[in-house]
Structure 1
Amino acid sequence: MVSIKDIAKKAGVSISTVSYALNGSPKVTTETCAKILAIAKELNYVPNAAARTLKTRETKIIGVYLTDFSGAFYGDLLQGVNEMLHRKGYDTIVCSGKRSHRMLPERMIDGAIVLDAMFDSDELLRYAELGHKVVVLDRELNHPNINQVLLDNKAGATLAMEHLLDRGFRKIYAIMGPEESYDAGQRLQAVKQAVERCDDLTFKAIEGSFRKESGEEAAKKILAEYTEPAAVFCMNDEMAIGVHNYVSQTDYVVGEHIHIIGFDNVELASYMQPKLATIDYSKHKWGALASEQLLKIIAGEPVENERIYVTLVEGDSVGINKEASAQR
């Protein structure tokens, strides 16, 4: 690989002169600068980003760590991240996997936004202790170099359960998310609290993975034991779409026999018939706020932990339990 030392040797100047010329410094005459740039082009010189970072202590790049890139969830979130960072002169790199974690301690990025259950909390705390700046979207970590921008999962799950109970349902299923997911765990806690407050409720939790296929598998189990209208709280919309797809292929009717509510309000859900009831929040705002908070930490500005609030979006996928109403 060609270095500035090679350029200096061929140009007959010092290494510092080459460095000044490559960085556009007025300390080098126009003639000398043109000569050095021509030689650099001739030798196919590529600047060493790592060396530059050591000198400036910044890369103007932010890493966004995700568990994976599948599903309809991440688009709006990343758009919010990218728009905010771009306005502030930063670029974004989206990462996944253990090896990409090294980019933070090796200062290949200036900071990290983490929505990745596989990024160990102890590892993040070690990096924070070394001075690296992090915003977490999926866990609670207390450290001066870590800020939390969390979704109000408990409020959302409570809204979903109250909606089903208000519609008269006393047989309710919850399709859970991955065991390692902070969001899924928070939603499940709220569901269990709602169940404990209701004496005449038949409740069953079914394992899920936040993927459409797990919704389909759960729907198969639910219909196998069907005896009366039942409501299903899916802890994300992808699983709700899976339940809806499976039920629609049978003689059962969504909104009449099986009543479905999701979480996330992804765009695809708005095209479902009947329209999916779900929990809504701004994924774009979530990403933008996370970026804003991270840049404040990098700049040494004080920040407070933030929370993204949620609302209920009603849909015909949840009707009224007519059998329960008739019995009253």
Structure 2
Amino acid sequence: MNSNGTHDASTDAISRADRNGNWSEAPVVGIKEIAQLAGVSPATVSNALNGRPNVGQATKEKILTICKEHDYHPNIAGRHLKTGRSKTILFTFSDFDRSFYLEVIHGIHDYADAHDYDLLICTGRVCEKYMHPTMTSGCIALDGKLSSELLERKASPDYPIVVLDRILQNPSIKSILVNNYDPMYALVDSLVKKGFTRFSFLGGIENTADNRERYQAFLDALEANGIGFSRDGYIAGNWHESSGIRAAQILLLTESRPEVLVCANDNMAMGAIQTFNANGLTVGRDISVTGFDNNAIAEYNGITTIDIPDYERGYLAAQALVGNIEGDINKEIFRITAKLIERRSVAPGRL
């Protein structure tokens, strides 16, 4: 306790209070104290904690036991400042409402953890300050709100980036993308072969690569089957369930309702299905609806969709990033295969 009746921490003790509000002094243990207790030099402690091979197994175990007993944790931030490098992967995203992000994060985490990397998850403008080699080792970006200009400015041989939603012509940026085109083409082609001829398309955010590819595949499949499509049949959405609700409300007011509403993702498809059902239509009989992603919502509600292996996407992204961080440079664009999953939200056929 100091002269004014308050408690503070000194260089060799920390003031702590127990449940009854009584204060006691607990010594602060640093690397020098650990070295003294272990009977070795501070450099040996540092080498042991960093897993270097020049420390015997018995000595290493003794040091780790002492660290655990005294609740000592090395100053990671200080080590980063000293070496100029971190061993942390940054993942940036912006949309909390889309559940597939959890699967992507799971995949990134599992690879990072297995290779002794930490994972820092970040959203919003604050991400920029962590995109530096003294803060993180590299970045995986799945964030439509993050500008391509920023990503290209931050990427360098010392700071590789993997993007999951665009292609950038930068030698320090690798793209891992879903093959949206082929499975969407297969989906629409299968619908035509079932006898459907009247379609509407509910798109996501229009300037995204995913939406452009999915819509183009939709158009090309119809054209290949001799079915025309007017832009009036396109409804702009934003990937969220609310835009599926609005789309269905619009279609319920039209005189010539489509037989099939093709949605650019599952969330929007779910919003449309709920609205159709609430207004007396049976989805899968009176109107068909499809999605894209194959999230848990789609599986539970029987939505015909495209399955994207999101866990694997995250795992592969982390694998590519760690490889680039550690010098095994691979800049080639990688496309992930997705597949059609047919369920009850599509009628058996009109033929």
How well do the aligned residues superpose, as a CA RMSD in angstroms?
Answer: 3.1
Gaps of 5+ in 1: 12-16
1:234-282, CA deviations, whole angstroms, 9 ceiling, x for partnerless residues? Answer: 100011111111111112110122101110001121111xx21100121
Deviates more, 1:245-254 or 1:300-309: 300-309
- Amino acid paired to 2:46: N
Q: TM-score, normalized by length of structure 2?
A: 0.77
CA drift at 1:24? 5.8
Query: Residues 108 and 317 of structure 2 are in contact (CA less than 8 Å); yes or no, is this contact kept in structure 1?
Result: yes
* 2:90 pairs with 1:63: yes
Query: Residues 177 and 207 of structure 1 are in contact (CA less than 8 Å); yes or no, is this contact kept in structure 2?
Result: yes
Where 1:23 maps in the other structure, the secondary structure is helix
Cα separation, partners in 2 of 1:168 and 1:208, compared to 1, 3 Å: same
Work out the percentage of aligned pairs sharing the same amino acid. Answer: 30
Cα separation, partners in 2 of 1:97 and 1:20, compared to 1, 3 Å: same
* 2:159 pairs with 1:132: yes
CA drift at 1:58? 2.8
Deviates more, 1:209-218 or 1:182-191: 182-191
* 2:270 pairs with 1:270: no
- Give the aligned partner of residue 193 of structure 2: 166
- Give the aligned partner of residue 234 of structure 1: 263
* 2:278 pairs with 1:249: yes
Cα separation, partners in 2 of 1:71 and 1:129, compared to 1, 3 Å: closer
Query: Residues 158 and 194 of structure 1 are in contact (CA less than 8 Å); yes or no, is this contact kept in structure 2?
Result: yes
Could you say which structure has the higher helix fraction?
A: 1
CA distance in 1, matches of 2:228, 2:337: 28
Cα separation, partners in 2 of 1:95 and 1:2, compared to 1, 3 Å: farther
Query: Residues 7 and 18 of structure 1 are in contact (CA less than 8 Å); yes or no, is this contact kept in structure 2?
Result: no
- Give the aligned partner of residue 14 of structure 1: none
Query: Residues 174 and 333 of structure 2 are in contact (CA less than 8 Å); yes or no, is this contact kept in structure 1?
Result: yes
- Give the aligned partner of residue 95 of structure 1: 122
Any residues of structure 2 matched to 1:50-129 within 5 Å, and which?
50-105=77-132, 107-129=134-156
CA drift at 1:184? 1.4
* 2:338 pairs with 1:315: no
Query: Residues 171 and 201 of structure 1 are in contact (CA less than 8 Å); yes or no, is this contact kept in structure 2?
Result: no
Gaps of 5+ in 2: 1-8, 13-27, 34-39, 49-53
CA distance in 1, matches of 2:73, 2:174: 36
CA drift at 1:22? 6.5
* 2:316 pairs with 1:289: yes
CA drift at 1:129? 3.4
Where 1:129 maps in the other structure, the secondary structure is coil
Instruction: Count residues with an aligned counterpart.
Output: 305
CA drift at 1:305? 2.4
* 2:284 pairs with 1:259: no
Residue 190 of structure 1: which of 206, 217, 228 is its match?
217
Residue 178 of structure 2: which of 145, 148, 151 is its match?
151
- Amino acid paired to 1:175: L
Any residues of structure 2 matched to 1:43-54 within 5 Å, and which?
49-54=76-81
Query: Residues 2 and 46 of structure 1 are in contact (CA less than 8 Å); yes or no, is this contact kept in structure 2?
Result: no
Where 2:155 maps in the other structure, the secondary structure is helix
CA drift at 1:162? 1.2
Where 1:290 maps in the other structure, the secondary structure is helix
CA distance in 2, matches of 1:200, 1:74: 35
Query: Residues 2 and 45 of structure 1 are in contact (CA less than 8 Å); yes or no, is this contact kept in structure 2?
Result: no
Residue 234 of structure 2: which of 205, 219, 222 is its match?
205
Cα separation, partners in 2 of 1:258 and 1:132, compared to 1, 3 Å: same
CA distance in 1, matches of 2:129, 2:180: 30
Query: Residues 185 and 221 of structure 2 are in contact (CA less than 8 Å); yes or no, is this contact kept in structure 1?
Result: yes
CA drift at 1:2? 8.0
